[in-house]
A = this chain, B = another copy of it.
């Protein structure tokens, strides 16, 4: 299936291009970016910054403008929010299925905010969205990079009556794009703030994803987030403390995390890690440097599950922010939609 990438020359766009290079179902045939890049070969337009070399198949593709109606039906959007605000809707109106990594439409009640292990049923919103917005295409989004990790650890705990969540994140610099965080700010340092409403996103997106009833209601849990930036390249870490209505044992919590599977695993989607959550038993794991690439970066790692004197349980979690939390997540969404006949 032919696919395109919007915002293909930036960091997230490059990650889409890199991860799609060897995809068994999708083939990148169309690359769009800002006018500055228009007409250049991709190899000349994109300041490639990934360790993996640029795939040969895309080097010569001429970069086009982000013009709705051009390019294939399925487009992955790596646009920043300012551009995505209007462009993604225009692409959906023109008949494209837009798999968006931008924050612009995530909280729209008619737009699925998808982590397919958790809420593949939210795709039921797509026909509603098309009707209500009179779009021939549609928009499906993946969450903020920290939320993608957090929500995956919380989904298996809903069965115990999830009431409150306190999360402190230690986020990697790759989450801020390029040039992103100045080295003078972060070398040997911690920054207690991330702009763009990061904490608000975590508090609101998480309960939308966990919401049942096909995405028509948010989950009732209260979420409180405190975010920090740390000198790590890839991998958002977080401490999590949850209050649960039921009184499961720590073993039951671990079992629930380990047993968690979703439709991507049932359908054996190409990008689906199995299991989606790995619970480490060594007390000093997971760590970004050792565990971030588990499952090709799609696995969420959990460790140190133990009782919390204030809430019910606390644990440490880690996931790859630019894979599970960005390009890899969007691609998994597309795979899920493909087997559901939505592409």
Contacts and interface: CB of A to CB of B under 8 A. Distances in A.
B223 A192 contact: no
A180 B181 CA distance: 10
Interface string A165-192: 1101010011000111111111111111
A196 interface: no
A130 interface: no
Interface string A207-240: 0000000000000001110101011110001010
Given A182-B182, A192-B304, A311 B166 contact: yes
Given A303-B192, A310-B164, A226 B184 contact: no
A183 B192 contact: no
A86 to B, nearest CB: 28
Contacts of A36: none
B222 A310 contact: yes
A318 to B, nearest CB: 8
A7 to B, nearest CB: 18
Given A170-B170, A226-B241, A232 B188 contact: yes
Which one of A165, A182, A241 has the greatest number of beta carbons of chain B within 10 Å? A182
Interface residues of A, number: 57
B168 A168 contact: yes
A230 B233 contact: no
Interface string A266-299: 0000000000000000011111111101000000
A135 B75 CA distance: 63
A326 B286 CA distance: 27
B233 A284 contact: no
A184 B184 CA distance: 12
B224 A314 contact: yes
A170 B230 contact: yes
Nearest to A226: B239
Contact of A183 (B181, B203, B228, B311): B181
Contacts of A173: 183-184, 187
A273 to B, nearest CB: 14
Contacts of A239: 168, 192, 226, 228
A24 interface: no
A341 interface: no
A179 B290 CA distance: 16
B165 A231 contact: no
A166 B310 CA distance: 7
B288 A223 contact: no
Contacts of A293: 51
Contact of A189 (B191, B283, B289, B304): B289
Q: Which of A173, A178, A239 has the most CB of B within 10 A?
A: A239
Given A178-B182, A288-B189, A170 B228 contact: yes
Contacts of A183: 173, 180-183, 185-187, 231
Interface of A: 49-51, 164-166, 168, 170, 173-174, 178-193, 203, 222-224, 226, 228, 230-233, 237, 239, 241, 283-291, 293, 303-304, 308-311, 314, 316
Given A187-B188, A189-B290, A192-B303, 10 more contacts: A164-B310, A168-B239, A181-B184, A187-B289, A189-B287, A190-B288, A192-B285, A224-B241, A228-B239, A228-B316
